[in-house]
Chains A and B, each alone.
Chain A
């Protein structure tokens, strides 16, 4: 990878309002990058930008981004690129409505797919030409173990994450030709706003640790990894259960 070149780089953080996004922005800036914080609540993201810039003495910009309004993504990417310099991408936005709510309202199913999958494909496909032109860089996507197998409890969300993971496999092959790495991080339980207060979670990982793993895994150019790592073992077991039996389980 040509990431080590002397020029100052910028991480585009898509979903910067999440606690993982906040932690990642701080860590990336501490590592010597600038950041673009992309998200919907730009007023609040200004507070994060101030924090990141002050701590690391770097440039931190805020750009409005709504994953669902795909028609604006081309302009969004242009706005980011106008800053100049080489870019890396951390994509972590996502939405997980309750499966029961989705069952009762198809609009929610569309939204779940629209944010987690369509929105990701939309923005990434607009970023790709720029990354290719850079001839190097990193893309990290915070995805979910839920994409490994469809489960009773959250299969619409899971299917969107699963589709995203497949998309990233292909994107990885494409971008490898331009020296751009694509890292898929399949997260287990994270101690974030999304899962806060949900029953039945165990070994919930702090957002700072997740952010650190995302940075480190992508620095190593890893393709696919679980975070925390033991989820690899859990998912190996879950994936090995025959469908005949799995359909009766309520996990």
Chain B
């Protein structure tokens, strides 16, 4: 199959990988590509919205899935959709919402593909109530290393099912997926935003609303200190009864790599303060179209270029409820001390464990931060990893480019189960990625 030499990165633009990219337009072509035993192995690459190296395979092949983009069945009675993996979340939502349905778990970017969403078992702002995407996956067809298609579901080869949900592409290429849907009474949500004055207040509000609200998410000002430490905005939302008109909304693009110094402690501090004070002290209430609510950042195309050519690191971990208070505090303190500054910091609750062996979710609090790739950041990431481990938490592979193999194995105790499945369906290691090598996921590397 024809291949194209590409330099590929994840959304964080670090690391970079040189790969031969295959781009099948139908399942049979994808199967032929796998049967040809691509040199250096192969991994699926969807929307490229994971931040680190999950969808990269330096010196090997990647299989671009965006052209596998067909909707195959939609059944309103059973509330389910069957489709190919390369459709993006936004494309699917645009199909579903006018028909009264929506995806059950929607990540912060609509440019993620549904295949990539399953491969990372993504969660949205409704995790407490509805779980992650894997919880709604009814079955799939997977292109495995032998070039054949295998079907799996909760009853049908459950081990392969669990290995593929959150399996970061290592079991094969998802080719067809059947997803259970949620009803969407309208195209909008009613959003309430309120200030949280400090970390204690924030955690209290989150705890209070995780059971009550359908959607909840917090934004935290990492640079605030003293009695404002951990202040931020909590956003909760409920489906709106009536639809609102959606304007096509102009997209803006960051046209070039910004010089790295533009995002510094002071500029970020000023932006964070503006963001905080935007919300009146008594809170505010408004109706927002679903797309804007789920993907506020998608209006700015290529916003990752804000961080300059060196790219940036994203850190996301989840800490179980019991340890959350100290864990989140220690993480924020470590960030504060490092003075690395984080442009986007998100704090929210998670409802429970996912169905995949490598599913990220667990009941607890999740914190997401990003840092420009600058000297000192690696040390900070290592410190955050240690704090996460100490508090029984885990780091999200979709966001990661720094985790250590040892830390990984401790955070994901079902790893041996995944390895069992891999030795069955891909004994020769056809599916390979930079992430898998870095974290020794297959276990046979030094």
Contacts and interface: CB of A to CB of B under 8 A. Distances in A.
B212 interface: no
Contacts of B72: 47, 50-51
Contact of B4 (A47, A51, A196): A196
Contacts of A166: none
Interface string B64-76: 0001001111100
B2 A197 contact: yes
Interface string A113-144: 00000000000000000000000000000000
Interface size class of B (residues with CB under 8 A): 10 to 19
A54 B2 contact: no
A112 interface: no
A44 B67 contact: no
B67 A54 contact: no
A165 interface: no
Interface stretch (B24-32, B113-121, B142-150, B280-288): B24-32
Interface string A44-58: 100110110011000
B26 A44 contact: yes
A21 to B, nearest CB: 10
Contacts of A17: 25-26
A105 interface: no
A44 B2 CA distance: 20
Interface residues of A, number: 16
A193 interface: yes
A196 B23 contact: yes
B275 interface: no
A47 B74 CA distance: 13
Contacts of A181: none
Given A17-B26, A44-B27, A197 B3 contact: yes
A159 interface: no
B70 A50 contact: yes
Contacts of B266: none
A51 B26 CA distance: 13
A47 B67 contact: no
Contact of B73 (A19, A44, A50, A196): A50
Nearest to A51: B70
Contacts of B25: 17, 19, 22, 193
B27 A196 contact: no
Nearest to B81: A54
B261 interface: no
A197 B73 contact: no
A196 B23 CA distance: 8
Nearest to B176: A47
B70 A47 contact: yes
Interface in A194-209: 196-198
Interface string A2-37: 000000000000000101001000000000000000
Interface in A34-85: 41, 43-44, 47-48, 50-51, 54-55
A54 B71 contact: yes
B39 to A, nearest CB: 15
5 tightest CB-CB pairs across the interface, nearest first?
A: A51-B70, A197-B4, A197-B2, A44-B26, A51-B71
Given A44-B27, A196-B4, A197-B4, 5 more contacts: A43-B28, A44-B26, A55-B71, A55-B95, A198-B2
27 contacts: A17-B26, A19-B25, A19-B67, A22-B70, A41-B26, A41-B28, A43-B28, A44-B28, A47-B70, A47-B72, A47-B84, A48-B70, A50-B70, A50-B71, A50-B72, A51-B70, A51-B71, A51-B72, A55-B71, A55-B95, A193-B23, A193-B29, A196-B2, A196-B4, A197-B2, A197-B4, A198-B2
